[in-house]
Amino acid sequence: MSALRVRRFEPADTDRIRELHETAMRDVGAYVADVPDGDLETVTETYLENGGEFLVGEREGRIVAMGAFRPVDGTDFIAQVLSDLPESTVELMRMRVDPDYQRRGYGRRIATELERRARERGATHIVLDTRPTQTAARGLYETLGYEEAARERIEGFGEPFELVFYRKSLLDGD
């Protein structure tokens, strides 16, 4: 068995991260076919060139995990829901683990590496959203010290759904 190798996204990874996103979201019943995922087509521009990060985890040369963060802009939906965010806040996004590779600590490894890199870049807080039904993801975030901050019902993408918003301080001692 080979260990998970975590590295920065490369443009050649685009097809696989789209596939991993869809597979992982379908597995938890959260995939919405008609919602655009433009950021997965423009990872370099959306994340890497804008103060964010996008990591992939490989096993035996295959990407089996991924995750990203980007600085929160005041116009972002999450900033509207969690209105008191410091300017040094980043949003954890696109956390996915291939269903065949879950429960091996890969999500934790990606998340903690993203937190470390966000801290190195001066981020003081990190936020995210997920669905209430994504119990494994919620459990991971809660064991990593994220606290539920809000819930919001979302309309406009076919069936309405609920999002749970989490936040965490990246400052020592908070």
User: Residues 149-167: pLDDT tens digits?
Assistant: 999 887 766 677 789 999 9
Contact by Cβ (8 Å): 160, 153: yes
Instruction: Tell me the Cα Rg of the chain.
Output: 15
| Identity of the residue numbered 112 | T
Give the CATH number of the domain where residue 44 resides.
3.40.630.30
Report which residue type is found at 137. A
The pLDDT score that the predictor gives to residue 36 is 65
Mean pLDDT over all residues of the chain? 91
* pLDDT tens sequence across 61-104: 999 999 999 999 888 889 999 988 999 999 999 999 999 999 99
Q: Report yes or no on 36 lying in a domain.
A: yes
Helices (H), 96-148: 106-120, 135-143
Range of the domain at 91: 5-169
Residue 62 lies in a domain: yes
Contact 126, 168 (CB under 8 A): yes
Please tell me the total count of domains within the chain.
1
Residue 174 lies in a domain: no
Q: In whole angstroms, what is the distance from residue 68 CA to residue 70 CA?
A: 7
Instruction: Tell me if 134 is assigned to some domain.
Output: yes
Whether 13 maps to a domain, the answer reads yes
Q: Is residue 117 in a domain? A: yes
Q: What is the mean pLDDT of residues 99-116?
A: 96
The answer to whether position 133 is within a domain reads yes
pTM exceeds 0.95 for this model: no
pLDDT of amino acid 173: 55
Query: For residue 157, what pLDDT is reported?
Result: 60
pLDDT of residue 66: 97
Residue 2's pLDDT is what?
60
Position 158 in a domain: yes
pLDDT tens digits, 27-53: 887 776 766 688 999 999 999 999 999
Q: pLDDT tens digit string along 127-157? A: 999 989 889 999 999 999 999 999 988 776 6
Gap between the Cα atoms of 168 and 134, Å rounded: 19
